[in-house]
Amino acid sequence: MRLPGQLSATTLGDLLGSLARAGATGRLSLIDKKGLQHSIVIRDGKVHEVDTTLGPRLGDVLDGADQFSYDAAQAEIRLGEYLLRAGQVSEARLHTALRQLNLLKLEQLFGLSEASIRFHIARPQSQDEANPKALEQDEFLHDRPRKRGGQVSRRKLPTRGEALQVLGLPSDASPTEVKQAFRILAQRCHPDRHPQASPLEKAQLIVQFSQISHAYHALVR
């Protein structure tokens, strides 16, 4: 499988689609114009982890993040694993938050228009207790920009007015109100919160989550 060397020649949706169809395992790296590296861990074609400084942090998607204490001496342990071991968050709650975080960070990477592409093949690895379930193809490929007819189509972020309307906020909403509204809506429509949903209902939830994510990022840029 050969991947393009530059993101400008393709889209992240096409890259992830190719890796998903190949059932690939490894790390997809995007090196942007500033030299920053953003990585997506792929296992058996599914997205397991999104590593980037773009987008929110774990505390932003965990309810009541202010109540959590994180000892700097534990810096070598990932925050999620530390909170789980300390009994400050349940495994189910952590997994839901981490999956939300992966989706939100992925949304940010879909906004990149130029970057060098690298893919490093790796052996499959076992998941530890702090890792969430992998993102399914319909979650990370639904409604994504694709390259068609030789041209790259990229999804535009909504205007401020459109984004506020999606989040149900007034025109003078503060950043804190934006974050609170996003957190509530994201928790409400995240597919993990609806395990009994039918395939159609799950697809609708994914669309809603994508709309909420785009609205949020349009307001926090």
Q: Domain extents for the chain?
A: 156-221
151 and 14 Cβ atoms separated by less than 8 Å: no
Give me the CATH code for the 156-221 domain, please.
1.10.287.110
- Reading the block at residue 88, the tokens are 């400050």
d(CA 36, CA 32): 6
156 and 113 Cβ atoms separated by less than 8 Å: no
- Reading the block at residue 59, the tokens are 């505390």
50 and 183 Cβ atoms separated by less than 8 Å: no
d(CA 207, CA 158): 15
Q: Could you read off the pLDDT tens digit of each residue along the chain, which spans 221 residues? A: 688 899 888 888 889 988 988 899 999 999 999 999 999 999 888 888 899 988 777 777 775 555 556 555 555 557 777 778 878 888 888 888 888 888 888 888 888 888 999 998 875 555 554 565 677 666 666 555 556 555 555 556 678 898 899 899 999 999 889 988 988 888 888 777 788 877 667 767 877 887 888 788 788 76
**Confidence (pTM):** 0.64
107 and 155 Cβ atoms separated by less than 8 Å: no
- Reading the block at residue 142, the tokens are 């639904």
35: DSSP letter: S
Other C-beta atoms lying within 10 Å of the C-beta of residue 208:
17
Angle among Cα 78, 26, 199 to the nearest 5 degrees reads 85
